Amino acid sequence: MAHASTGLVAVLLAGCAVGAGSPMPGPGSASPVRTVLPNGVTLIAQEHRASDVVALQLWMRVGGRDESPDELGLSHYLEHMLFKGTPTRPPGAIDDLIEGLGGTSNAFTSYDYTHYDVVLPAGQVRAGLELLADIGVNASFPADELEREKKVVFEEMSLVEDDPEKYLGRRLNELAYAPHPYGRPILGTRELIQPLTRERLERYYKKRYVAPSMVLVVVGAVSPREVQALAEVTFGRLPAIRTARPDAPLPPAIDRSKRQDVSRAEKQAYLGLAWRGAPNGDEDIYAVDLLTTILGDSPSSRLNQTLRERERLVASIEANYVASAKAGLVTITARLEPQNLERAEAAIREVIRRVRDEGVTEAERQRAIITAESGYAFDIETAEGLAKSYGQAETTWTLEDELAYLGRLRQITAAQIQAVARKYFGDANYARVRFLPEAAK
């Protein structure tokens, strides 16, 4: 898996995310073309002729980390409201347009960015760009729609809470990062969303949704030149309002105080551990990525072989690495019987200790690299998969780094993997969330 894909979907995103990205060139053109329009909008375009579709994605350099404490959840709320309409597009018109063409739309919110995407027939690239530019600055937030959507967001909160794996990911992320902005609830809280007014949301929108915050990614059966021309007459016409993105502080260190037990209705227990990893842009991300794969990416991984297959301590276990712009987190999550909680946690520590002490094998290193290569190769099957990797890279580090990722990954040695195990993965510097069955507590 590419370093910031699975984990993001599992842990951080609010919305209906699917798929993952890759920076391998697809058929049609060798590499993406990146330009910055005079008003500050970043445009990334690539030809991809696998099918007659085009993926158009608007990535806002706005997310949960940019909210002040009393703005919690507004990035996500905007994500819900943008497809509702503009002065020229009444409620429902956007969905009718996209779906009537056989297209789809999707959106999700993270701490570093907010993402809107549509997939349309290739001939509709202009209509798609006009739509995204329109909702990017002209969303009208009808008052009655805004009120009704509160209930939908509350339902989303409940839905996440009912899903133990998703909820464990959220709780673990929040505990590991708190009080850093990465550790706040991405959906906000009922208390903050309930009194939300149209004026307040619009103020946030006008402040953050400005041209320099926009990254437009277009991948599909269209030439970058054509995309560039169309982007200039749509996104290029948005006002050039300058803005400074609030700088996120460094997250606090994790220590033994980060422990949380949650009583739940499920009969099984869930265990989540989280270590601080390297942020995107850091030179350690390559080795941490490979180490995470070796630890818990597949049935052949060390955690799976040790805790599931050999010691029978867990029913399932996996490791994920989410490298965000300002910090990174490696999580290990497992489903198990409550009586095995202590032994499983000790066994996880022991698996990691062995990597610290003895390193990894050359075969493991090679398998981890080929796993990453394969993840990238599968992602270029679809235009939207490729576009997603570009947008994510542009908003959390750089497109250039993303394109060089696989090459750099291949250079990492087993000794470097062992070194990051020693640097990041201690016996005490992890956060822990446990879901305990009510009866067992």
Partner 1 sequence: MRRCALPGLLAACLLAAPAAAAEVTQARLDNGLTVIVRENPVAPVVAVSLLVKMGTRWEQPATAGISNFVHAVMVKGTARRSGSELAEAVAALGGKISATGDMDDSEIRASALARFWRELLALVAELALEPKLLPAEVDVERDFLLSRIQKRRDNAPARAFDEFFAALYGQHPYALPVLGTPESLARVDHAAIVAAYREGYRAARMILGVSGQVGAPEVLAEARRLFGGMPPGGAVPEPVSPAPLGPGRRVAIEMPAQQSQILLGGLAPSLEHPDHAAVKVLSTILGGGMAGRLFVELRDKRGLAYTATSYYDPVRGPGALVLYLGTAPGNAARAEEALRREVERMRRELVGTEELRRAKGYLLGRYVMDRRTNERQAWYLAFYELEGQGRDYPARYRQAVEAVTASDVQRVARQYLGTVTTLVLGPR
Query: For residues 222, 226, 228 and 232, what is the CA-based torsion angle, rounded to 10 degrees?
Result: -130
Q: What is the C-alpha radius of gyration for the chain, rounded to an integer number of angstroms?
A: 22
Instruction: Show contacts with partner 1 in window 252-281 (CB under 8 A).
Output: 265-268
What's the CA gap between 186 and 30, in Å, rounded? 37
Least distance to partner 1 from the beta carbon of 313, Å? 12
Nearby residues of 394 by Cβ (< 8 Å), 6 or more positions away: 34, 42, 44, 59, 215, 217
CA dihedral of 28, 34, 36, 41, whole degrees rounded to 10: 70
Told to check if 367 binds partner 1 by CB under 8 A, we report yes
374 binds partner 1 (CB under 8 A): yes
Q: Tell the smallest beta-carbon distance from residue 317 to partner 1 (Å).
A: 12
How far apart are CB 176 and partner 1 at their closest, in Å?
Answer: 24
Distance CA(289)–CA(409), nearest Å, equals 9
Closest contact distance (angstroms) between CB of 240 and partner 1 is 25
Residues numbered 199 to 228 that lie near partner 1 (CB under 8 A) are 221
Q: Are the beta carbons of 386 and 26 closer than 8 angstroms?
A: yes
Choice from 104, 223, 260, 413 touching partner 1 (CB under 8 A): 104
Kindly tell me which of 260 and 298 has the beta carbon lying closer to partner 1.
298
Q: Does 299 bind partner 1 (CB under 8 A)?
A: yes
Q: Which residues of 250-267 are buried (b: 16+ CB within 10 A; e: fewer)?
A: ebeebeeebeeeeebeee
| Residue 148 in the binding site for partner 1 (CB under 8 A) | yes
Position 146 contacts partner 1 (CB under 8 A): no
Q: 7 to 46, contacts with partner 1 by CB under 8 A?
A: 26-27
Site for partner 1 in 123-142 (CB under 8 A): 123-124, 127, 130
Q: How far is the CB of 432 from partner 1 (least distance, A)?
A: 21
333-362 binders of partner 1 (CB under 8 A): 335, 337
Count of chain residues binding partner 1 (CB under 8 A): 76
Binding of partner 1 by 311 (CB under 8 A):
no
Q: Is 15 helix (H, G, I), strand (E, B) or coil?
A: strand
